[in-house]
Amino acid sequence: MSKGIKGLAVSALTPLARLRRRLLEPLGRLWNHARLRERITSALDPSVVVLGVPEIHGTGNIRLGRQLYLYPGLYLETQGAGEIRIGDEVVISRGVHLVAFERIHIGEGSMIGEYSSIRDANHRTGTDRALRWSGHESRPIAIGRQVWIGRGVTVLPGVTIGDGAVIGANAVVTRDIPAGAVAVGIPARLIKSSSTAQRTEPSS
């Protein structure tokens, strides 16, 4: 087959491939949505976009808001009385882990970067039992509204992140971050507070 004929064949297939993609993608999202709805204990709003079925472990005590955008590869786990609560219009990127033995709350409009880990519990140490069976100690995590958490961030138990805060990529958040602040590093430290941001705004 000549190059010209091959080119015509490829160009003829392209519209068919595009048509198949337009038809199959919505069906795939509907299937993902239905699978997720089956695995959690609360209702799932039709506006939630599920690009890949999250891996759900534990009780499924997960409440999701409206107009969420959920990327593939998510891991969501709730154990015991633990709960995960996510507000409206939150974006959770690929590979994010959320693990709640007590409570994780993410406020509306927040965005969680790829491969971030938010866990409200740690294994107990210093016991006579093997680490695997030593149990957990947990403290709730609260993430406010319009928070931007960068790629690869780790948020540890007991942390509160205030509204509008920004956490730089790969940071490890070990303590509370105030509203409107910017924090980076290991452990995360403030490089801009909300008061600094207000002082540096240009005057009108």
CATH of the domain at 168: 2.160.10.10
pLDDT at position 201, please? 39
pLDDT at position 17, please? 64
Task: Let me know if 123 is a catalytic residue.
Answer: yes
Of 151, 180, 181, 145, nearest in space to 168 by CA: 151
Question: 3-state class of 83 per DSSP?
Answer: strand
Number of domains the chain is built from: 1
Helix (H) or strand (E) holding 191: strand 189-192
pLDDT < 50: residue spans in the chain: 1, 8, 197-204
In this predicted model, what pLDDT tens digit does every residue of 143-173 receive, in sequence order?
999 999 999 999 999 999 999 999 999 999 9
Amino acid letter, 133: W
pLDDT at position 7, please? 54
Strands 189-192 and 182-184: antiparallel
- Residue listed under structure tokens 């030593």: 134
Rounded to two decimals, the pTM is 0.81
Long-range CB pairs of 160-166, under 8 A, 24+ apart, other chains included:
162/194, 163/107, 164/194
Domain with 62 in it: 3-200
Catalytic residue among 57, 97, 105, 123: 123
